[in-house]
Each structure stands twice: as C-alpha cells, then as structure tokens.
Amino acid sequence: MPPEGDDVRTPRCPVMTPSTVTADNPYPQVWGPPATLATRSDNLVCAMVGLPARGKTYIARKLSQYISFFYGSPCKVFNVGEYVLRLVDGKFQRANFFDENNLEAKALRRKASENAVQDLCEWMSGRKATKRKYPSETDGDKCEGSSYISGEFGAVAIYDASNATQDRRSWLLERLKPLGAKVVFLEVICSEDDLLAENMASTHRCLQVQEVLSAEEAAADFRERIGYYQQVYEPLSEKEASWIKFVDGGKEISLHNLRGFLASRFAQFLLNLHGQRRPIFFSRHGQSEYNQLGKIGGDSVLTAHGEEYATALAEWVDKEVKLDSEGKPRPARLWTSSLKRTRLTARHIRHDSICLPNGTEWVQMRPKMHRNLDEIYAGLCDGMTYEEIERQYPEEAAARKGDKFEYRYPRGESYTDLISRLEPMAHELERTRETLLVVAHQAILRVLYTYFMGKPREACPDVSIPLNTVIKLTPTVEGCLEERFTLLPNLQGKEKDPASH
C-alpha cells in the first residue's frame, strides 16, 4: 500500500514509454526528433533585395528564427555586410565606399559577395547527420555514409544583401545552380518616412558605438550611401524568378511564381510581420496553491503570496507598461491563458480609456484569453508532485530526466507539442503593434522567450522564468534587448520545484 495521503491513480491501461516493447506490441512506434535525410530539392535559398535602411536584415533574422524554431529546419543567414567588414578589418567605411565608380571598393564588395555565396553553398551541401543537445546553425560534423540532415521540410539559407540589379541577381542564380535548391527573392520596399527614420536611427546608433561619426554626420553619410544605391537600383521584375514583395512594413505583399511549403510559410509569416520595435512583457502568474504544494498542472487559485504579486503587478503595469518613455499613455494589450491562476493574477490591472492621435478610443489592457497559452498538459500526471510520479511511474520519471525537451507526459504533452501549439500565437505576437503583456505559465513562457531570443528550440526546458518577475523584451535588428524586473521576493520553500515542467 502507498503511504497514507498519496494521490493514488490507477490508469485504465498501463503507462509506458513510447518505445516500450510488449508481447502485444513488439514493434512500437518510437517518438523522437526528426531525422529526415534530405534531397537537394528540399533546400531553399531566400535572397533579400532592397535599398539600405529598408529592414532587410531585421526581416532576414526574423524569418530564420521562425523557420528554424517552429519547423526544426536548419536555417542560417549570410549577411554580405559582415563579410565586407572582415575584408576591411572591421573599419567603418564612408558612403563613397558604395559608389560604383570606386573600383577598388567595388572589387572588395564583389569579393565579399563571392565569399558569402561560397560559405552558403558549403553550409547547405555539407550538413551531415549529427545529433547534439543543442544543434547549432553552424554544425558541420561529418558522418561517413550518411546524407545531410535537412529537417522535416528542408534547409533554408538566407542571403542578406542589396542584390540591387538584375545582373547581380542573375549572377547569384548562376552561382547557386549547383546546389539544386529553390531560390526565392524577397524584395523589401519602404517609402514611409517614419519606418525609414527608425531603420536609419538603428544604423546611427551602431556608428556612434564605433565612435566614428556624430549622429548628424551619420545621418548625412547614410543618406549619401542610399543615393549611390538608388542610382543603379532595379526593382524585381524577372518573370521567370520566384519572388515576394514586402511593401511598407506589410501594408502590401505580392507573390510571384511561389511554390513549396517553406516558401509559403515565408509568405504567411510576412503577412503578420511589421517593423515597429514595441516591447513585449512576459510574466508568470502569481504563486498558486499547487506551486506551494509542489504539484504540477491543475487549475488552482492563488495563495496569499500570489495575490500580493497580483496587486504589485497591477501597480507596476500602470507605470511601466501603459506609459511610454516620455510618461505619456500608449495603447497596450493584455493576454492571459484560460486557467484561473493567470486570470486572477491579471484581474487588478485597470482598463482605462485613452484617445489615440487619430481620435479612436482605446481601452488600455483589455484582457484577452487564449487557451493556446494554457500550461503544458501533464496528462495522467496532472496534479501530482514529482516525488509521486517517481514512486508510481518510475519509467516516466527516468524518461523525463533523460530528455526533458522530447519527453511527453502519458496522455499529455511535450515541449515539441507546445511549440506546435504556440505557432499561431507567434503569428499573433508578431502581428500585434501595441505594447503587450502576456501573463501565462512557466513552460509556455519558456517557449516564447526562447523563440524571441533566437535560441535553439531544444534550449526551452533550461530557460529560467521565476515567479514574481516581469521580463521585458524589446526587438532590435540584432535580436531582443532583455530586462528583468523582480516585483516581490520569492518565498523560500514555498514553491517546492522552481524548475517544474
């Protein structure tokens, strides 16, 4: 008999790991990571097209992040600007470096393009079947007698350059021909002054870090650089090519001769993408009764300490989320899961009305509930402590310790299931232009945080998402700036397993 007080559960069928062999099932289906051997036609190269300061690099990084995270496809960005910097020893080059009449600089830029294409081809054709805990985009280890791993849907390389003329695009297609890969051009067009100013400001900040130019000098130099590109620029019009045109932050998107699953994912993702760098705030719910007892899952309410955090969060939101850097009210949104502990945590947040510049009334932090944000489902283990799981289902406990990312609770979910469940939320997060607070759960926020920070998907289980803490992520060209705010001290011993799930 189990010790008195244990939550005894008798499932209707034996609990087993997916690879357990029994007399009734001698050939079980094994659940594991994808190991699809690629053919060359599975590969896709996305070549960026556009003038400077249009957001090409930002979009290239976001696409790479999205495809690799949600589809497990190897993806790597080859930025020609970085190759140029290597050739000039990292020294900043003034605008005349990009003048077509500057033959010495033109030769260096051509060499940088050649080097980037060569590395792209070697990376795409040289990927071999390897298995690592956190496979990186630079893996290139060789396994004798095996083909390269492409992921479930193929591998993607993004060639990030201006590709400003038809001759340059023809040259690129010719150089990529031996790969046998599909090539899609993505032209980024921007004519809106606000977007251009924001993109140029990002460049100015980089230049100021290098202490080369003042802000005014940087702006003038960059405008001159754009002028040199405009002299030779030819918009995409090649009828035989596959291309996407992304205009003014997604206000207009056109597709031409586009085929294939990953290419279609590009288009769908771009429909929800914009260039506005608004912050996103993540917070776990306040301490719940199950947190205090060390139980996983469930739909319990808050403890007194959890209620204290809910009150502190509402006060903090009034100052830090609903107001911009100048102290003026800004439109802001609030999302929660459907479970009690997140809705109770958010219930003290006020929903004031403000008037937007266009005269529209906006209700601040109007709560919106998403079931996709519900915590990972522990199946038969829902409501149990890890000690109870280890006693009653020792094989499950061992399997979870062996691979926390791939492990699926019996009749429940794994982190890979969460990633699939949260893909629609990623589209919604990218689409939303207002400041956003998401009050959700540890495993959910681990996945979203890992995605936005550009980390490998397998790193999800190791991300720290503590109680009583708000995480602020602000998108930049390079990634996201992260800030953490601890609103209350954690009560030691009150949450038995801070690393639950």
- Which residues are tagged catalytic? 160, 190, 285, 375
Helices (H), 277-368: 289-293, 304-320, 340-346
Residues 6+ apart with CB under 8 A from 277: 198, 474, 475, 476
Phi, psi torsion values for 473, nearest 5 degrees: -115, 125
Residues 6+ apart with CB under 8 A from 335: 367, 368, 369, 370, 373, 436, 437, 438, 439, 440
491 with 306: CB under 8 angstroms? Answer: no
Give the whole-angstrom CA distance, residue 471 versus residue 490: 16
Which value, to the nearest 10 degrees, does the dihedral of the CA atoms of residues 35, 39, 42, 48 take? 110
Strand 252-256: give its sheet, edge to edge.
75-79, 156-160, 44-49, 182-189, 242-247, 252-256
Give kind and range of the element (H or E) at residue 417: helix 415-431
450 with 460: CB under 8 angstroms? Answer: yes
Residue 327, judged by CB atoms within 10 A of its CB (0-12, 13-18, 19+), counts as exposed
Buried b vs exposed e over 35-60: b needs ≥16 C-beta within 10 Å? ebebebebbbbbbbbbbbbbbbbbbb
259 with 337: CB under 8 angstroms? Answer: no
Give the whole-angstrom CA distance, residue 383 versus residue 290: 8
Specify whether the backbone of 151 is left (phi greater than 0), alpha (psi in -120 to 50) or beta.
left
Phi, psi torsion values for 186, nearest 5 degrees: -125, 105
Nearest to 436 by CA among 402, 480, 471, 404: 471
